[in-house]
Structure 1
Amino acid sequence: SKLVDILQYKCDWYGKKLIQVNPSYTSQICANCGKNNHRLGLNKSEWLAVREWDCPNCGKHLDRDINAAQVILQKGLAIR
Structure 2
Amino acid sequence: MSEDKGFSSGAIGLAFLIGGLLGASVAMLLAPTSGKESRVKIKGLADEALEKGKHFVESRKEILEKAVTAGREAMEKENAALPVFF
* Larger relative contact order (CA 8 Å, sep ≥ 6): 1
Q: Which has the higher strand share?
A: 1
Q: Between Structure 1 and Structure 2, whose CA radius of gyration is higher?
A: 2
Which structure shows the bigger proportion of residues in helix conformation? 2
